[in-house]
Amino acid sequence: MLTALEGAYGDRADAVTVAGRTASYEELLGAAGAVAADVAGAPAFAVTATPRLETVAAVVGGLLAGVPCVPLPPDAGAAEREHILRDSGAAEVEVDFARRSASWSGKAAAPEEPALILYTSGTTGPPKGVVLSGAAIAADLDALAGAWQWSADDTLVHGLPLFHVHGLVLGVLGALRTGSRLVHTGRPTPEAYAAAGGSLYFGVPTVWSRIAAAPEAAAALSGARLLVSGSAALPAPVFRDLERLTGHRPVERYGMTETLITVSGRAGGEVRPGTVGTPLPGIVTRIAAEAGAEIGELQLTGPTLFSGYLGRPEATAAAYTEDGWFRTGDIAAVDEADGVHRIVGRASIDMIKSGGYRIGAGEIENALLDHPKVREAAVVGVPDADLGQRIVAYVVAEGVTGAELTDFVAAHLSVHKRPREVRFVAAVPRNAMGKPQKKLLLEGEFDPNSR
């Protein structure tokens, strides 16, 4: 996994920069060696994944020691942190980047062993731990390196969170496998992207739409080699603005925490707005469409799939069809002529994507219902020009303000899962079974991102 750290490309004084601090491969390896010695033998360990060199050292240290790292969202509230720590059995470690142990020579994990455990939302209940093996991650990164002609000559720039696939697996481990320089900007602001001078840029659509709205920053990316968007649908107007301002047609790729990145456009290939390209080598997809229909659930198999949900064999089994295909829950269509995939939407109204974060409606509803003044809650993702979808909570409550409920969710779960809007209603519309009728709540909401 860590080809660059094994010396394949020599050392480099400016190998990894995170939020303004830079380390060489040797320094990173030394700090990671100290972490490896600390965590060796544990079943798993956790680190608060703030964007800093220490987080990178922790993840690498876990890989060296063969102990999976659980990155904790830095904006997580008490309940979410406790859930993740309890569910994973991981103890949190503190990393001192100045403490180095260059001589780590313990046992590395077999490729099939867990390398990372990433927590992600379902439609109901608290987040589940997605177990990813080193073999799955390596297979994905090699496929992406091929698709994007990603090499040690690149400088990768992004400012995405280090507790999800996009920022951590692609954005950190990808650089350490391909040997590209990494500049993590701390925050994914247009100005920071413009100042970083990279050849390869990663962003979620919200980041790209903010860059497209900042023409000077966008123009600074014209010298790059490749712009890549993923984690949610890139609106066609943003694609066109980026093309006009940067001269680049951004490549879109599609993935999930459970499958890693499975479908992508190719560097130098034809790129059409609203499409996510073709399956990566080794990935086989199919559309489970009803007779006569062209769109249906995207299902897939391949070497990049997860090892299962931690401690939840039933949920793992339910994620597959009887004949062994992974059910993505995304609705897609495939162009018959060239195999290019288009993601049309989600099967479940309860799976929300906001700013590229995957957020389960049930999780937010449960948090709201934990508030003593809330009697009913129904949460939906409303189309939003900046975030793709924004979380709107319909609540039946008295004696509490919307801001108080927003703060309650931010403190309980995490800041990025807070409702952006709370609407007080006399009752939540329900069907005869008592199930909230969310389609009624969404009626009349204009979709600025429809392509």
- What SS3 state is found at 181? strand
Minimal distance, residue 20 CB to ligand MLC, in Å: 16
37 lies in the binding site for ligand MLC (CB under 6 A) = no
232 lies in the binding site for ligand AMP (CB under 6 A) = yes
421 lies in the binding site for ligand MLC (CB under 6 A) = no
> Please, which residue, 38 or 80, has the CB nearer to ligand MLC?
80
* Structure-block tokens of residue 64: 């060296």
Q: Is 86 left (phi over 0), alpha (psi -120 to 50) or beta?
A: alpha
Q: Tally the C-alpha atoms within 13 A of residue 324's C-alpha that lie toward its C-beta.
A: 3
188 lies in the binding site for ligand MLC (CB under 6 A) = yes
Number of residues this chain uses to bind ligand MLC (CB under 6 A): 24
Q: Which of 221, 209, 208, 273 is nearest to 247 (CA)?
A: 221
Q: Which of 119, 254, 306, 326 binds ligand AMP (CB under 6 A)?
A: 254
Minimal distance, residue 5 CB to ligand MLC, in Å: 24
Q: Which of 155, 328, 366, 449 binds ligand AMP (CB under 6 A)?
A: 328
Alpha helices in 149-189 (DSSP H): 174-178
160 lies in the binding site for ligand MLC (CB under 6 A) = yes
Minimal distance, residue 360 CB to ligand MLC, in Å: 14
> Please, which residue, 254 or 408, has the CB nearer to ligand AMP?
254
Q: Which of 415, 440, 445, 451 binds ligand MLC (CB under 6 A)?
A: 415
164 lies in the binding site for ligand MLC (CB under 6 A) = yes
> Please, which residue, 88 or 257, has the CB nearer to ligand AMP?
257
Minimal distance, residue 356 CB to ligand MLC, in Å: 3
CA distance 212 to 208: 6
By a kind-dependent CB cut-off of 5 to 8 A, residue 133 interacts, out of ligand MLC, ligand AMP, none, with none
Determine which helix (DSSP H) or strand (DSSP E) holds 97, and give its type and residue range.
none
- What SS3 state is found at 448? coil
Question: How many other C-beta atoms lie within 10 A of the C-beta of residue 370?
Answer: 14
Q: Which of residues 245-274 bind ligand MLC (CB under 6 A)?
A: 255-257
Q: Which of 358, 390, 412, 438 binds ligand AMP (CB under 6 A)?
A: 358
166 lies in the binding site for ligand MLC (CB under 6 A) = yes
Q: Using only the alpha carbons of the chain, give its radius of gyration.
A: 22
Q: Tell me which residue has tokens 């470690």.
A: 93
* Structure-block tokens of residue 80: 């979410």
* Structure-block tokens of residue 93: 């470690």
342 lies in the binding site for ligand AMP (CB under 6 A) = no
255 lies in the binding site for ligand AMP (CB under 6 A) = yes
* Structure-block tokens of residue 199: 């050849």
CA distance 365 to 361: 6
CA distance 147 to 167: 18
Residues 6+ apart with CB under 8 A from 120: 127, 128, 130, 164, 257, 258, 358
Q: Which of residues 151-210 bind ligand AMP (CB under 6 A)?
A: 164-165
Contact 169, 116 (CB under 8 A): yes
Alpha helices in 295-430 (DSSP H): 313-318, 361-369, 402-412
- What SS3 state is found at 235? coil
Minimal distance, residue 407 CB to ligand MLC, in Å: 5
Binding site for ligand AMP (CB under 6 A): 120, 164-165, 230-233, 252-257, 276, 328, 330, 343, 346, 353, 358
Binding site for ligand MLC (CB under 6 A): 160-161, 164-167, 188, 204, 206-207, 230-231, 255-257, 355-357, 406-407, 410, 415-416, 418
